[in-house]
């Protein structure tokens, strides 16, 4: 049976009146607990969560707003499950934040895990991130027209293996399952093979030499053992259906090749390969290692009192930053938080991404990626110095003002071929630094629209105006560091993409809540909401008292909480 207590519902008697003093209540309202209780709690997707329970039949659930809030708190406070249970049971600030009675509450770890499963199944973390972020942006008046984009690497709860140990661990885990399932099949295997993988995971191959040749021979031996097991058990459905066998098979074909029954270990595998049999979703980043990453877009307008993260897209580590802008822009569009200007690193700012961002009316600002099309020398003349019709890509005149003999744009190749008159180029004093080249056809110039745009951007990038404009982008590095220190985003306690993505989004949502709680305007909003709830009750009481007949003694109402709230409100500076 569903148990739901609407956070917006006022109570006749505040249960915290008897346990909070004026100073302790002020501390709660000044911190994240007040923001959570009066702003965030009502935004949690309880309507989706209650779909897992019948409305009237069975034992009542835990109060659903408090459970959804606890899971959000557990992630951005970086609690273990046991710490979350203790907080739910005993901590008064958590009781206040979750709109619970200030008494001991019981909660089992199994119940907590069941609700975590609901969050992952329904992808509630994404809904929470969207609703909380848009609400905070709206009530704080955050200016979103200027944002910055970056990614940060995240490690899940898994061991990091080299290639040989990865293959060895896959074999050991499969053999363990074979032995448990059918002792006879395990005993039928070669004794040397069984001995080779009998030690524990951390003791595997401990007797192997450390020189390169010994390691190469060991890796070849392990690869051949994998191939032997795949051929031996591949047709046996009682073993080939196991997850350990599927991991074994996947790792083998990612790490090795078979040429005429000869096993060859690949020299390079790329990053989109399994990193641990216990974490099949994690991939590899060549610079940062195995795991995941998240693309973050953050406001960076200097007029904002605090900066908030407007978009968070978790993905595996192998994903390139170059592919991120289309997904981030679409996410911001769905949230109604598209900026006018987005500052990003070099990898994000390919010409294709800049053109795509322009379709969203967003200016993507960042250094030009290196490459043949973008390596123009800003101190020499380049295609950006020519007068070109941007609609047809035809050259109108050169920097010296000379018109070409012909300029033809090829739609199929995207190139424009321009022939300049010999009389003009032969006597031009700028010819040595001009991109026009003398050929058999005459003085010839070739360019593409992409090359022209990159040349213009590189010329702009060399100016002091650009450097001053771009300087604020580096602030997101501090946000990445703060997220990892404050919320534990750098090393998670879970594995598997559903759990990892759920954890990432909740931690980032909590970061926005923590940032908003230090805002003076937010404190004023929290105080006024708290006082409004108390005054609503006070009006009800006053109406009840005035309804009594003359000479009838009215009840002894306790007005201390009302005046306590009002006195607290008077201490809050008015927001500008």
Looking at residue 282, what is its pLDDT? 94
Looking at residue 570, what is its pLDDT? 58
- 248 C-beta neighbours (distance < 10 Å), count: 26
Looking at residue 569, what is its pLDDT? 55
- Kindly state the percentage of the chain with pLDDT values over 70: 91
What are the backbone dihedrals phi and psi of residue 396, each rounded to the nearest 5 degrees, phi first?
A: -90, -45
Q: Match 């917006």 to its residue by tokens.
A: 8
The Cβ-side half-sphere exposure at 551, using a 13 Å CA radius, reads 0
Question: Can you read off the two tokens belonging to residue 19?
Answer: 């346990």
Q: For residue range 211-234, what is the model confidence (pLDDT) as tens digits?
A: 889 999 999 999 999 999 999 999
Question: Can you read off the two tokens belonging to residue 130?
Answer: 């969207």
Report DSSP state, residue 547.
T
For residue 342, which of 295, 293, 305 has the smallest C-alpha distance? 295
Query: How far is Cα 348 from Cα 135, in angstroms, rounded to an integer?
Result: 28
CA distances from 345 to 90, 356, 363 (A): 46, 16, 14
What dihedral angle (degrees, nearest 10) is formed by the CA atoms of 490, 317, 215, 256? 150
Number of helical H runs and strand E runs in the chain: 23, 14
Residue 263's pLDDT band (cuts 50, 70, 90): very high
Q: Match 């690497």 to its residue by tokens.
A: 153
Are the C-beta atoms of residues 158 and 317 closer than 8 Å to each other? Answer: no
- Taking residues 301-307, report their average pLDDT: 95
What rounded mean pLDDT belongs to the chain? 89
Report DSSP state, residue 562.
H
**247-251, 271-275, 523-527, 541-545: the lowest-pLDDT one:** 541-545
Give the bridge partners for 438, in sequence order: 443
What are the backbone dihedrals phi and psi of residue 187, each rounded to the nearest 5 degrees, phi first?
A: -65, -25
Question: What DSSP string runs through 343-358?
Answer: E--GGG--HHHHHHHH
Query: How far is Cα 152 from Cα 507, in angstroms, rounded to an integer?
Result: 14
Looking at residue 557, what is its pLDDT? 45
Looking at residue 373, what is its pLDDT? 45
Looking at residue 400, what is its pLDDT? 86
Looking at residue 576, what is its pLDDT? 37
- Taking residues 376-405, report their average pLDDT: 84
Are the C-beta atoms of residues 186 and 232 closer than 8 Å to each other? Answer: no
Close Cβ partners of 14 (under 8 Å, ≥ 6 residues apart):
534, 561
Question: Can you read off the two tokens belonging to residue 177?
Answer: 């399952």
For residue 473, which of 339, 379, 353, 373 has the smallest C-alpha distance? 339
**8-22, 23-37, 310-324, 533-547: the lowest-pLDDT one:** 533-547
What are the backbone dihedrals phi and psi of residue 117, each rounded to the nearest 5 degrees, phi first?
A: -65, -40
Q: Is the pLDDT of residue 378 over 80?
A: no
Are the C-beta atoms of residues 329 and 364 closer than 8 Å to each other? Answer: no
Q: Which residue has the higher pLDDT, 203 or 543?
A: 203
Looking at residue 219, what is its pLDDT? 93
Question: Can you read off the two tokens belonging to residue 291?
Answer: 């795991």
CA distances from 339 to 145, 328, 336 (A): 4, 11, 9
Residue 208's pLDDT band (cuts 50, 70, 90): confident
Q: Which residue has the higher pLDDT, 442 or 510?
A: 510
Confirm whether pTM is higher than 0.85.
yes
Q: For residue range 509-552, what is the model confidence (pLDDT) as tens digits?
A: 999 999 999 999 999 999 888 888 777 666 665 555 555 555 55
Looking at residue 548, what is its pLDDT? 52
CA distances from 434 to 3, 309, 400, 519 (A): 77, 46, 10, 55
Looking at residue 502, what is its pLDDT? 96
- Taking residues 27-42, report their average pLDDT: 94
Q: What share of the chain is helix, strand, coil (3-state, %, to 5)?
A: 50, 15, 35
Close Cβ partners of 570 (under 8 Å, ≥ 6 residues apart):
none
Looking at residue 133, what is its pLDDT? 97
Spans of all domains in the chain: 163-265, 379-457
- Sign of the CA dihedral running 272, 276, 282, 287: negative
Query: How far is Cα 283 from Cα 290, in angstroms, rounded to an integer?
Result: 6
Q: Is the pLDDT of residue 391 over 90?
A: no
Q: For residue range 95-132, what is the model confidence (pLDDT) as tens digits?
A: 999 999 999 899 999 999 999 999 999 999 999 999 99
Q: 3-state DSSP call for residue 283?
A: strand
Looking at residue 1, what is its pLDDT? 87
- Kindly state the percentage of the chain with pLDDT values over 90: 64
- 340 C-beta neighbours (distance < 10 Å), count: 11
For residue 1, which of 62, 74, 88, 46 has the smallest C-alpha distance? 62
Question: Can you read off the two tokens belonging to residue 240?
Answer: 């080939």
């Amino acid at each position: 049976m569903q148990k739901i207590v609407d956070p917006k519902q006022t109570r006749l008697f505040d249960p915290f009146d008897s346990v909070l003093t004026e100073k302790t209540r002020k501390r709660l309202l000044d911190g994240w607990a007040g923001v959570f209780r009066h702003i965030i709690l009502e935004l949690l997707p309880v309507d989706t969560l209650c779909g897992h329970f019948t409305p009237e039949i069975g034992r009542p659930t835990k109060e659903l707003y408090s459970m959804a809030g606890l899971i959000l708190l557990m992630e951005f406070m970086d609690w273990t499950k046991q710490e979350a249970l203790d907080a739910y049971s005993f901590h008064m600030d958590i009781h206040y934040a979750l709109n619970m009675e200030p008494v001991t509450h019981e909660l089992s770890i199994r119940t907590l895990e069941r609700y975590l499963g609901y969050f992952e199944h329904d992808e509630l973390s994404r809904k929470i991130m969207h609703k909380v972020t848009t609400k905070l942006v709206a009530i704080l008046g955050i200016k979103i027209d200027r944002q910055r984009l970056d990614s940060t690497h995240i490690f899940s709860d898994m061991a990091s293996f080299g290639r040989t140990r990865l293959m060895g661990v896959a074999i050991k885990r499969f053999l363990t399952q074979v032995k448990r399932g059918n002792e006879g099949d395990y005993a039928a295997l070669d004794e040397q093979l069984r001995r080779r993988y009998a030690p524990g995971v951390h003791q595997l191959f401990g007797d192997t030499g450390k020189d390169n040749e010994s390691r190469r021979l060991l890796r070849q031996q392990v690869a051949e053992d994998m191939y032997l097991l795949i051929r031996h058990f591949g047709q046996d459905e009682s073993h080939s259906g196991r997850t350990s066998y599927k991991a074994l098979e996947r790792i083998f074909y990612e790490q090795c090749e078979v040429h005429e029954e000869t096993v060859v270990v690949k020299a390079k595998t790329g990053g989109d390969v399994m990193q641990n049999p216990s974490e099949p979703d994690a991939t590899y980043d060549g610079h940062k290692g195995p795991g995941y990453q998240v693309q973050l877009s953050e406001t960076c307008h200097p007029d904002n009192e605090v900066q908030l993260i407007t978009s968070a897209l978790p993905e595996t580590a192998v994903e390139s930053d170059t592919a991120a802008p289309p997904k981030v822009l679409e996410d911001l569009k769905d949230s109604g938080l598209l900026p006018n200007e987005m500052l990003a690193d070099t990898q994000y700012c390919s010409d294709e991404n800049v053109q795509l961002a322009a379709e969203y009316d967003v200016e993507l600002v960042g250094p030009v990626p290196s490459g043949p099309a973008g390596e123009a020398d800003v101190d020499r003349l380049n295609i950006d110095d020519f007068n070109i019709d941007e609609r047809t890509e035809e050259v109108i005149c050169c920097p010296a003002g000379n018109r070409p003999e012909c300029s033809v744009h090829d739609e199929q190749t995207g190139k424009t071929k321009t022939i300049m008159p010999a009389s003009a180029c032969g006597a031009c004093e700028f010819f040595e630094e001009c991109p026009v080249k003398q050929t058999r056809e005459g003085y010839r110039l070739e360019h593409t629209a992409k090359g022209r745009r990159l040349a213009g951007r590189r010329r702009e990038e060399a100016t002091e105006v650009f450097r001053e404009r771009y300087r604020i982008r580096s602030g997101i590095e501090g946000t990445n560091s703060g997220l990892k220190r404050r919320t534990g985003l750098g090393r998670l306690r879970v594995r598997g993409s559903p759990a990892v993505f759920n954890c990432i989004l909740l931690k980032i949502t909590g970061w926005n809540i923590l940032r908003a709680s230090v805002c003076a305007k937010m404190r004023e909003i929290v105080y006024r909401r708290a006082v409004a709830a108390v005054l609503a009750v006070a009006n009800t009481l006053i109406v009840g008292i005035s309804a009594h007949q003359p000479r009838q003694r009215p009840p002894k109402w306790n007005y201390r909480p009302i005046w306590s709230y009002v006195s607290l409100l008077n201490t809050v500076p008015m927001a500008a």
